[in-house]
Amino acid sequence: MTSIAARAGASGVLVVHSCPKGLTSHVEWALASRIGTVVKLDWSPQPLLPDMLRAEASWHGPVGTGAAVASSLFGWHELRFEITEDQTGISDGGRWMHAPTLGIFHMQTDSAGNGVLTEDAVRAAIVGAAGDAERLARELRLALGEAWDEELEPYRQAEVGDATIFALPRLNAG
């Protein structure tokens, strides 16, 4: 892995599970525009979908980069991806998952990468269930992004090569 110095303290991983060949340069451009450096991902065949490619890259940049990249990639036809942003001393971590049929999902994460449900999310699930245990289970599965996990899990199992690290260039302080 190669690392480029970052000017801020956030980091994470972008995994593009499936991308049409014709869209790869657009994905690289979208990522580069958010992290401020040229990006060339190491694309490999996606074994589950003919004519699709996959790529993985670790990134370093300012807090909020994960959300910015997810917003840039959101809604592109046939693009399946996940991006994480690790928790820092000043910000919560996050995970964004996108599948064409489901759209995008965001969940706060802890320092170990576990999904965290806020008390408001739990309270909304309880209220939404109105005393029905099966409905409560459905509401909690929805809040945990289970449908996205189920959609993306087969792609996660695909062979993973070395990730590349991208980061914002360090600014001179003087």
Which residue range forms the structural domain that includes residue 38?
Answer: 10-115+148-167
Residue 142 lies in a domain: no
DSSP letter string, 6-30:
-SSSEEEEEEEEEEEGGGHHHHHHH
For residue 30, being part of any structural domain is answered with yes
Q: Which residue has the tokens 């408001």?
A: 120
The predicted-structure confidence for 6-38, as pLDDT tens digits, reads as follows 445 899 999 999 999 999 999 999 888 888 888
**Residue 59 DSSP class:** E
**Which two structure tokens, joined as six digits, stand for 115?**
């999904």
Q: Is residue 94 part of a domain?
A: yes
| Average pLDDT of the segment spanning 42-59 | 92
CA 22, 28, 29, 30: dihedral to nearest 10 degrees?
Answer: 100
Collapse the DSSP code of 30 into the 3-class scheme (helix H, G, I; strand E, B; otherwise coil) and give the result. Answer: helix
Q: What is the pTM for the complete model shown? A: 0.82
Provide the number of structural domains found in the chain.
1
